[in-house]
Structure 1
Amino acid sequence: MTWNETHRRWQALRAIEEQLAASESAELPWSEEHALVFGDRAGLVAALRYRWELTVNAQLDTHLPERELDEHRQRLARRARGVLRVLEAEDARAVA
C-alpha cells in the first residue's frame, strides 16, 4: 500500500468515525468512495475494528490501578460509541 493509499484510508476512517459519532444509527455508512478504499463492507468493518483495537492498545496503560484503568476504558468507549455501536451490530449479524 502506498503512502497516498494509506493516507486516503486513514482520512476515510476518521470521516466515518465522525459521521458515526454524530449519529445514533448502528448502520454501517457506505458509498462508492468507501468501496474504492476498503473493497467491500467487510473490509470497512475490519478496518474499523483494527482502528479501535489500535486505539485501545495505544491509549490504555495496563499499569494503572484497576479503577483508573476502568475509567479510562469507559472514556475511550464513550468517545468511540458510534464505531462500537456499528461493530456490535455487525457482530450480532454474524452470529444470527
Structure 2
Amino acid sequence: MSWTQTHRRWQALQEIEALANAGCTDLPWNTEYAEIFGDREALADVLRYRVRLTRDTQLDSHLAEAVLEEQRRRLEARQAAVLTMLRRFDAGDASYAQVVREQTVLPGPVTAA
C-alpha cells in the first residue's frame, strides 16, 4: 500500500469515526469508501480491527486494577459511537438488507420448485 493509499484510508477512518461521534448510527458508504475498502464488510472489519488494536495497546495488564478499569471505561466511552455503528451493521439493518436483495434478485417470473 502506497503512502497516498494509506493516507486516504486513514482519513476515511477518521471521517467515519467523526460521523459516528456526531450521531450517525449507519455505517456510511460512498464511492470513495468503495475504492478504499472494497465493500461494507471490509470497512466494518477495519473498524473492528482498530477497536481491538486500540484496546490491546492501551489496556496494559501490568497496570494497577483501578487504573486499568478507569482506562477501560475511557476507551469504551471513546469507542461507543463506532461500536454502535458496528452493532447496527452486524444486526443487518432491514433497509440495507432490502436494498441488497433488490440488487441481487434477477428480473423474471418466480417459479415454484
TM-score, length-scaled by structure 2: 0.74
The amino acid that maps onto 2:6 is: T
Which of structure 1's runs of 4+ aligned residues deviate more than 4 A?
A: none
Aligned pairs, number = 92
Structure 1 residue 88, shift from structure 2 partner: 2.2
Question: 2 CA distance for matches of 1:15 and 1:48?
Answer: 12
Question: Tell me, which stretches of 5 or more residues in structure 2 are unaligned?
Answer: 93-113
Question: 1 CA distance for matches of 2:91 and 2:66?
Answer: 29
| 1:38 alignment counterpart | 37
Question: 2 CA distance for matches of 1:62 and 1:73?
Answer: 11
Structure 1 residue 34, shift from structure 2 partner: 0.8
Deviations 1:30-55 (A, max 9, x none): 11111111111001101101111111
Q: Does 1:73 align with 2:84?
A: no
| 2:5 alignment counterpart | 5
Structure 1 residue 61, shift from structure 2 partner: 1.6
Question: 2 CA distance for matches of 1:82 and 1:45?
Answer: 13
Question: Tell me, which stretches of 5 or more residues in structure 1 are unaligned?
Answer: none
Question: 2 CA distance for matches of 1:15 and 1:62?
Answer: 31
| 2:110 alignment counterpart | none
The amino acid that maps onto 1:51 is: R
Deviations 1:19-72 (A, max 9, x none): 10111x431111111111111100110110111111111211211122221211
TM-score, length-scaled by structure 1: 0.86
Q: Which has the higher contact order (CA 8 A, sep 6+)?
A: 1
Identity of aligned residues (%): 50
Structure 1 residue 6, shift from structure 2 partner: 1.0
| 1:53 alignment counterpart | 52
